[in-house]
Amino acid sequence: MPPAELAAAGTFHAAMDAARRSGTLVVQPRMGFGDTARMRAGLIATRDANAATVGTLTLDSFTRVGDFDAAARAVREGRPLNGYPIVSFAPDVTRTMLDGVCGPDFPVQVRHGSPLPGRIFDALIDAGIDATEGGPISYCLPYSRTPVQRSVAAWKEACRKLAALRERGVEPHLESFGGCMLGQLCPPSLLIAITVLEGLFFLQNGVRSISLSYAQQTSAQQDEEAVTALHRIAARLMPDAAWHVVIYAYMGLYPATEPGALRLVADAARLAVRTGSTRLIVKTAAEAERIPSIAENVTAMEVAAAAAAMTSRGTAPAPTGVEAEALALIHAVLDLNGDVGKALVQAFAQGYLDIPYCMHPDNAGRTRSVISDDGRLEWTRTGSLPIGHLTQPHRSAQLTSTRLLHALSYVKHRYDDLPTPA
């Protein structure tokens, strides 16, 4: 439950709080276009879809990596971009694009991917937007070679800028991307630990309305255990925050067939409802080959909403090893330093946090995982993670390039190979 003193003026915060209270699953696309007219049309189509929705401005690649000159040049020259270049547009351009579309009943969130988000936060705040996402770890290790220490410092400053909106009567919202981390082959306990630690980092730096994420993985049963654990851990460690859980449809190699892709997003919606999660970020049938159209985004949202409507809240599974591992990781990191940002930097330096198959220079690279015969993600090497007393690494054959490719394609093949219903 959110604390009584939180303001309800933040449009995203208020909408998510209302959805959480009513048990409504909100669905959201990853939509972003470089042209303002098309971006507005996409938002209108999202708003008018047969689903409870919120809008998204997904930013372009140049803006994400801080190459603002290249983004501005593309805007000047009328060249297409793969997302919305919010920094390159004057605030009034974005305000005009959103005018009459977004508001209390249809808030919008900026999604980006930057380890150094200062100018992006400035631009979205100037444009009147009160919600975004990311984090000092989840937008650093997968997407850049930026030192973790530098990303933590940048995100600390960005959080404080966002939190300052409260002085204007607006309660801003920030979502951790930590439940994704490379999209696949990261065992759930580490996903939970990173999103909770980023949530605690946001809270420590003044942002009180947050969402915690979890990306659909390879086993529906394991995912349900993990998301239930995430809810329990957040309730225990964040009693004074307004928080909800957001599920991401599978972030790895996506099914190439339309039926397979839509079955996968429907299963993500069922996971969200069964676990009492509030929001779902969908993917579309076009993910395997190109940027999705507006219509394809709408189809994915409506398929997800229809699946959610046919699903009931499940009985929470008992605590499992996933929850025990996640708690051990979180507490080991928090014990390093009272400043969560400094603790995160130390945790990577000491290998207490170590992402499998991540090539970032600050990642120790001593952990490995495998998909077991029953589809669960299991550790094969835990490196210096403080969970050795809780887990027995899975015995697996040496991971060759062929076995890695098989693991990366596991979900794609499973859903593409299912027969299409008559």
What is the band of 212 on the pLDDT scale with cuts at 50, 70, 90?
A: very high
CB atoms within 10 A of CB 103: 13
Task: Kindly indicate the confidence band of residue 261, based on its pLDDT and cuts at 50, 70 and 90.
Answer: confident
Q: Are residues 43 and 102 in contact, defined by beta-carbon separation less than 8 angstroms?
A: yes
Query: What per-residue confidence (pLDDT) applies to 420?
Result: 56
**What is the dihedral sign for C-alpha 372, 377, 383, 387?**
negative
Q: How far is CA 42 from the centre of its chain?
A: 21
HSE-CB at 149 with a 13 A cutoff on CA atoms is: 4
Question: If pLDDT is split at 50, 70 and 90, which confidence band does 292 have?
Answer: confident
**133: which DSSP letter?**
E
Distance of CA 278 to the CA centre of its chain: 13
| Mean per-residue pLDDT, 125-137 | 96
End-to-end CA distance of the chain: 44
pLDDT of residue 7: 45
Q: What is the mean pLDDT of residues 270-276?
A: 97
pLDDT band at 1; cut points 50, 70, 90: very low
**Please, which pLDDT band fits residue 393 given cuts at 50, 70 and 90?**
confident
Q: What is the rounded CA–CA span in Å between residue 208 and residue 203? A: 5
pLDDT one-digit tens code per residue, 303-325: 999 999 999 988 888 888 999 99
Is the per-residue pLDDT at 403 higher than 90?
A: no
Q: Please give the pLDDT value at position 349.
A: 97
Percentage of residues in the chain having pLDDT higher than 70: 90
pLDDT digits (tens, 9 = 90+) for 153-195: 999 999 999 999 999 999 999 999 999 987 668 999 999 999 9
CATH topology of domain 11-309: TIM Barrel (3.20.20)
Share of the chain above pLDDT 90, in %: 73
* Spatial CB neighbours of 199, under 8 Å, sequence gap ≥ 6: 176, 178, 210, 212, 234, 238, 241, 243
Mean pLDDT, residues 366-382 taken together:
89
Mean pLDDT of the chain: 90
Name 393's Cβ contacts closer than 8 Å, sequence gap at least 6. 378, 379, 380, 381, 382
Domain range list for the chain? 11-309
What CA–CA distance (Å, rounded) separates 215 from 251?
Answer: 7
Helices (H), 118-173: 118-126, 148-163
User: Are residues 288 and 255 in contact, defined by beta-carbon separation less than 8 angstroms?
Assistant: yes
Measured CA to CA, the distance from residue 111 to residue 123 in angstroms comes to 13
* Residues 4-60: tens digit of each pLDDT: 355 445 689 999 999 999 999 999 999 999 999 999 999 999 999 999 999 999 999
Least confident among 79-88, 103-112, 214-223, 398-407: 398-407
pLDDT for 4 equals 38
User: Do residues 63 and 71 touch, judged by C-beta distance below 8 A?
Assistant: yes
| pLDDT on residue 190 | 97
pTM, 2 dp: 0.94
Distance in angstroms (rounded) separating the CA atoms of residues 10 and 172: 6
Which residue has tokens 């973790």? Answer: 148
DSSP-assigned letters across all residues of 264-288: HHHHHHHHHHHTT--EEE---TTTT
